[in-house]
Structure 1
């Protein structure tokens, strides 16, 4: 058993020992839906015939430019091939399903590993990976996921047609692609993101740009609206759904079945974030902007902070741990670690991505994903993934190679 496996097992066993299903959280926060009807199982995300295990089943999934997909078990080193999807423009995950967006639809792969977030503790599951099929659509879809992979919904928005589709995650867990809602809007680069039993969907202005958000219920009925000029980028945290706007962010939550929009404006003159990333479920997320720095949005405090960086940024994500780690991939190919509380850079690697950054087709494909122990940075041209121990002076813990080149990379089992 390697050190990462041993640490994970001890942590998982300790957590399960101290926090049984009946224990109460020390700091109550909005809880995911853990009802039987939502999960199709026993209220913990369990599915009949699926094994519950003692530790997170963390995997990397890589998809190459032609759509060949493969998976690497980070605990055992076992490799597996996942078959073929359409050549993706981009790839997203909710921690279980892999959504590969092409110009004509979204292909869905079930990695077969996931975590059920019970707020004060977690349950871990594993089954066989498989490809689930395709949702056809016009234009490269934006994809928005929720907190749980076996409950709730996933949002797809197709810009060329303006079609917005919610997929039933419970049905996905049974191998079926099923829509719970389909809306038709004017074609635009838009967003459909899950919220409660319904969703938040963007609407364009008369120039064809996303300018307004509508909260709708499970039938598509409008419940609330708010302005959101140039809406772009979304992420779901434990505290709510975040959607970026030109003048700040909208945080969408629910009070019972009533949607609530809260606006968090930027300081005057700020360059907006257009995408967000962070450790799954944590309340603070990183917003990628155009300047040499990163926006930090604390969804609990409804507040922005600016974190200056030593270089322009290709990718950034918050760990949101007690040491306030923020991991950044610089435009020079370095992996940088910052302390968000002091705004100081505390570690940096040597440049790692020379061949990738020299290839204009791949330079924009560098992916950063992280969990509670490690960060993973893809080097598509080099054909490898760097595992970074961000808490240990940005040490390169492993250099990983998957059966397929990591032009697109996500981490599952989270």
Structure 2
């Protein structure tokens, strides 16, 4: 395993491209992170905002009324990932991971907080990566994985407000489409594989010493937390990482792939997709998986409609949410597997074969679900308590990816 530590350099005006310096080094223009940032005004409370990517750029919307606050052009296919501080979004671009300030944030002061709003903008901070992949936030740390090098970068996302986050970097033995996560105790879990195959995970100390490992997870993909247990999907089940213990949970089928997951700190049960055809160009499953980390079991639930990889979410009480291709949002009790509500949101839709093409995306913020509708260039607002759509916003572009920030 390769290992190194890096302190970022503050650049006043220059952003170095990904091919010009070592992968993963953040560069920035810099800005103040205190309550007196230029142009910011104090608000009566948090102002949630949304980042919506489209073919050619990214929009920033005010979540309350859908007003477009920023339309930033960008070349190539742009992905959006929450940075973990309820303020910034990390855009995966040809440069690497670029920090987008949504311009809305809250500073907590013990028993109260002060909320501020300003203009959204690209900050100039870039974490360089050959192939920017998964972004994982947990316990105050954000980890960026570079599929092109097999390396990852760890930092405190709250330091993005200053534009100069200190970073730790490390790398797997071989590059692969992987993921890494920093645990609350400082240990780190990362996937193992190469360009052709992925086989499992390693649990290492902050110094890089191996504590545990498992190669019993063919095709390992993705990560989410169920309570404090990290869950990694496999082609035949899931791996559970609890402290220093790694446990394999087998799927009911010989090939039962879990590749996309939605976890909740309020629930020990993970919601995942579930596919059974290894030869399908695009399988359109109707069953989801519920991985119970207490019992080490997988329950399958038929939601009576197919869904896509952006269709899974969790509600404010840990309930499972699945957006079906019939246009309905299902609310699932993850402890019993029972569907407790079905909310009409969209017209029927069909998942495109190319994963980069737009499809409806689900994003949840507290008790509100946001659902994009590429067919009509709209965004729907769903009140989960009232079980209905309460607002719909017209968008100037066809939406693709969606990230919500509490502000």
Shorter chain as normaliser: what TM range?
0.7 to 0.9
The answer to whether the aligner puts 1:275 opposite 2:271 as a matched pair is no
- The corresponding residue for 1:13 is none
Q: Which runs of 5+ in 1 are unaligned?
A: 1-45, 255-259
Aligned twin of 2:188? 199
Relative to structure 2, which stretch is displaced further, 179-188 or 79-88?
A: 79-88
Question: Conserved in 2, the CA contact under 8 Å of 1:327 and 1:390?
Answer: no
> What per-residue deviation string (whole Å, max 9, x for no partner) do you get for residues 335-367 of structure 1?
33344436236324264255x858967765321
Query: Once the 2 structures are TM-superposed, how far is the Cα of residue 115 of structure 1 from its aligned partner?
Result: 7.2
Q: For residue 368 of structure 2, what is the aligned residue in structure 1? A: 374
Partner SS for 1:100: strand
Question: CA 1:198–1:326 in 2, change beyond 3 Å: closer, same or farther?
Answer: closer
CA distance in 1, matches of 2:42, 2:147: 39
CA distance in structure 2 between the partners assigned to 1:127 and 1:317 by the alignment:
27
**8 Å contact from structure 1 (residues 362, 380) kept in 2:** no
- Counterpart among 232, 236, 254 of residue 247 in structure 1: 236
SS in 2 for 1:235: strand
Instruction: State the TM-score, normalized to the length of structure 2.
Output: 0.73
User: Aligned ranges for residues 107-146 of structure 1 at < 5 Å?
Assistant: 107-113=98-104, 125-128=115-118, 129-132=120-123, 133-146=125-138
1:80 maps onto 2:75 in alignment: no
Q: 8 Å contact 1:115–1:122 — kept in the other structure? A: no
- Once the two structures are superposed, the pairs formed by residues 271-310 of structure 1 within 5 Å of their partners are 271-278=256-263, 283-290=268-275, 291-299=285-293, 302-310=296-304
Match of 1:398 among 391, 394, 401: 391
The 1:124/1:403 distance shift into structure 2, 3 A limit, reads: farther
State the Cα RMSD in Å: 3.6
Alpha-carbon separation, structure 2, partners of 1:144 and 1:286:
17
In 2 relative to 1, CA 163–359 (structure 1 residues): closer, same or farther, beyond 3 Å? closer
Shift of 1:141: 1.6
Q: C-alpha separation between the residues in 1 aligned to 2:321 and 2:231?
A: 20
TM (norm. structure 1) is: 0.72
Q: For 1:206-252, what per-residue CA distance to the aligned partner results, in whole angstroms no more than 9, with x for missing partners?
A: x8322131223334343332333321011245423322223333333
Indicate yes or no: 2:296 matched with 1:316: no
The 5 Å alignment of 1:182-193 reads 182-193=170-181
Aligned to 2:151: 163
Which residue of structure 1 aligns with residue 342 of structure 2?
347
Change (3 A) 1:240 1:278: closer
Change (3 A) 1:78 1:141: same
Paired position in structure 2 for 1:63 = 53
Distance in 2 between the 1:280 and 1:112 partners? Answer: 27
Deviation of 1:52 after TM superposition, in Å, equals 8.6
Is there any run of 5+ residues in structure 2 with no aligned partner, and where?
A: 1-32, 276-284
Structure 2 residue 217 is matched with structure 1 residue 233: no
Structure 1 pair 273/169, CA: closer, same or farther in 2 (3 Å)? same
Structure 2 CA distance for aligned equivalents of residues 252 and 84 of structure 1: 40
Q: Could you tell me whether the CA contact under 8 Å between 2:272 and 2:289 is conserved in 1?
A: yes
| 1:179 aligns to 2:179 (yes or no) | no
Distance in 1 separating the partners of 2:49 and 2:295: 32
* 8 Å CA contact retained: 1:59, 1:73: yes
2:328·2:344 contact (CA, 8 Å) conserved in 1? yes
Work out the CA distance in 2 between the residues paired with 1:306 and 1:285.
Answer: 12
- Greater share of residues in helix: 1
CA distance in 2, matches of 1:229, 1:135: 29
- Secondary structure (helix, strand or coil) at the match of 1:176 reads coil
Secondary structure, counterpart of 2:159 in structure 1: helix
Aligned to 2:202: 214
Distance 1:342-1:243 versus aligned 2 partners, 3 A rule: closer
Structure 1 residues 109, 279: CA separation in 2 closer, same or farther (over 3 Å shift)?
farther
Structure 2 vs 1, CA of residues 184 and 49 (structure 1 numbering), >3 Å: closer, same or farther? farther
d(CA) in 2 for partners of 1:215 and 1:359? 35
Q: Is the 8 A contact 2:43 2:117 kept in 1?
A: no
Counterparts of 2:105 and 2:235 in 1: how far apart (Å)? 34
